[in-house]
Chains A and B, each alone.
Chain A
Amino acid sequence: MRDVAIIASAQMANVSTTTATPVEMLLPVINEALANAGMSRADIGFWCHGSCDYMTGQPFSFVMAVDALGAWPPIIESHVEADGAFALYEAWLKIQAGEAETALVFGNGRSSSGDINRTLSLQLDPYVVAPLWPDDRSIAAIQARACLEAGVVTSRQMAAVAVRNHRNAQSNPNALRSGSYSVEGLLDAEVVADPLRALDCPAHADGVTAVILASADTARRLSTRPAWIRGIDHRIDTQNLGNRSMTTLPSAIVAAHKAGVGNDKVDVAELHAPFTHQELLLTAALGLTDATNINPSGGALCANPMMSAGLARLAEAASRIINGTADRAVGHASSGPWMQQNLVCVLEGE
């Protein structure tokens, strides 16, 4: 295996809606990531993009996104119809294969273009589920109820997750939602999708994340403290909602094991768990304890830009290695209303 590290990143400050086109959203973030790494476009060996055309409502919008890259002379570029974190996995493989020494990975989403809950119905089984147009929040609420009634989580624990993330988000300038709340106050709040309350549900956002990967020599030349990728794995569960445990995250457990999460302490974990009960399920699946600082950014609960929020978690985890406040960090990305797909990345400093 080749040593590969995250050496820099940048994010757009998340907003609930923007008039900017996807290209106009991407351009400044890509420029900022390059500047943070001390690189120019010509230094990038591979570009990899995660986005979803259904979000913007523009078929082939990922082709238009190449306008933000300055693709002359021709570049090597690829795209996944998924969160940018899965594009990062592809870029990591590209470097492993020796086909590139550096990669710029980016994910963007414009959730505000349409009705995001309705659009997300389209990620479900197209034969017997999506024709009912079930919204993302309702599906997550079914899982939350199963967890509550099984005693796997409590409403109080869910509220505590919301309190911590919103408090942490107060020091994250990119977060969309933040604030100082109490568990009791949240438990008194109105239920919006029984049993979920508003602050159990993610703040859908328009946003962009860009991350730069480099192989060992380049990483050491450009960064005093690269965030080395020591393990990365992604796994998926059945798409059939009624044939999967609602109270565990089977694919996250496997991905965490394969990535080696439990091999050493974890200082920081950035978890792409859009709903509060999901953060509790994921913490258990990854085997994390109170010794780990979970979601210092406020997580996807406080800003959930589709197709960028997972990559943002990896960027946040890496930034804490790069700035020396953590030695070992976990970044996680997911997709699906029950987190049916999970990517786990273990990052370490030297």
Chain B
Amino acid sequence: MSEDVLRIRTPIGIHYRYSAGPNASSHLRGLMEGKFIGKRCPSCTLVYMPPRSTCAKCGVLLGEDVEVGPKGTITTFCIVNVAFLGQTIKIPYVAATILIDGADLGMQHLIQECETSDVRMGMRVEPVWKPREEWQPSLANITHFRPTGEPDADFDSFSGQL
């Protein structure tokens, strides 16, 4: 017959049920209401958005819910020019770290509705939501962020994030 077998396909598919846990779920509930709900560390007072179960710095459960945003500031970003398996967005596009107003840690999202060459650190952005009837407990309720047109944030206001 044909050539020797040098390689085999061994696909692995596993079904799970993921739980966001009782602590970070208020964030998901907020997304279903069109709000950004972060959480404050009772020890160091940092506001996590999106929240995690614990403060990674202090090793304690995060405490009170804090509504933040919805606007934010781009702290850093990259322009994606390379296609990869599973990519759903047309290249080139911008992936950015956005510091939501009132939060102390950045989150990742897409920047659209502007030229990739116009995106810059300090740029002010706001979320663009899908139609309300499509909302799920997911950050995918926001298709992307877009420039607000406000003046850029001072570098000093976000330099601690870098």
Q: Does B52 contact A (CB under 8 A)?
A: yes
Contacts of B82 in A (CB 8 A): none
Q: Does B54 contact A (CB under 8 A)?
A: yes
Contact with B along A16-57 (1 / 0, CB 8 A): 001111011001001000000000010000000000001011
- Least CB separation from B19: chain A residue: A19
Interchain CA distance A131-B9 in the complex, whole Å: 9
Assess the B58–A54 pair: CB atoms within 8 A.
no
Assess the B53–A131 pair: CB atoms within 8 A.
no
Q: Does A97 contact B (CB under 8 A)?
A: no
Q: Does A70 contact B (CB under 8 A)?
A: yes
Q: Does B132 contact A (CB under 8 A)?
A: no
- Least CB separation from A69: chain B residue: B59
Which among B22, B54, B57 has the greatest number of chain A C-beta atoms within 10 A?
B54
Assess the A23–B14 pair: CB atoms within 8 A.
no
Interface residues of A in 317-343 (CB under 8 A from B): none
Assess the A19–B21 pair: CB atoms within 8 A.
yes
Contacts of A23 in B (CB 8 A): 21, 52-54
Assess the A72–B23 pair: CB atoms within 8 A.
no
Assess the B15–A114 pair: CB atoms within 8 A.
yes
Q: Does A66 contact B (CB under 8 A)?
A: yes
Assess the B59–A113 pair: CB atoms within 8 A.
no
Contacts of B53 in A (CB 8 A): 21, 23-24, 27, 67-68
Contacts of B60 in A (CB 8 A): 27, 70
Assess the B16–A114 pair: CB atoms within 8 A.
yes
Interchain CA distance A328-B83 in the complex, whole Å: 61
Assess the A131–B10 pair: CB atoms within 8 A.
yes
> Distance in Å from the Cβ of A22 to the closest Cβ of chain B?
9
Assess the B56–A66 pair: CB atoms within 8 A.
yes
Q: Does B142 contact A (CB under 8 A)?
A: no
Give the residue of A30, A54, A72, A114 whose beta carbon is less than 8 angstroms from that of B57. Answer: A72
Contacts of A19 in B (CB 8 A): 19, 21-22
> Distance in Å from the Cβ of A315 to the closest Cβ of chain B?
21
Interchain CA distance A131-B53 in the complex, whole Å: 36
- Least CB separation from A70: chain B residue: B59
Contacts of A66 in B (CB 8 A): 56
Interface residues of B in 7-35 (CB under 8 A from A): 8, 10, 12, 14-24
Assess the A71–B17 pair: CB atoms within 8 A.
no
Assess the B12–A57 pair: CB atoms within 8 A.
no
Which among A19, A21, A119 has the greatest number of chain B C-beta atoms within 10 A?
A21
Interface residues of A in 84-128 (CB under 8 A from B): 112-115, 118-119, 122, 126-127
Contacts of B54 in A (CB 8 A): 23-24, 27, 67-68
- Least CB separation from B11: chain A residue: A131
Assess the B16–A24 pair: CB atoms within 8 A.
no
Q: Does B105 contact A (CB under 8 A)?
A: no
16 residue pairs bridging A and B, Cβ less than 8 Å apart: A19-B19, A19-B21, A20-B19, A23-B21, A24-B21, A24-B23, A27-B59, A54-B14, A67-B56, A67-B59, A113-B17, A113-B18, A114-B15, A115-B14, A126-B10, A131-B10
Given contacts A27-B54, A67-B54, A70-B55, 10 further A-B contacts (CB under 8 A): A21-B53, A27-B53, A57-B16, A67-B56, A68-B53, A70-B57, A70-B59, A114-B17, A115-B14, A119-B14
Binding site for B on A (CB under 8 A): 18-21, 23-24, 27, 30, 41, 54, 56-58, 66-72, 112-115, 118-119, 122, 126-127, 130-131
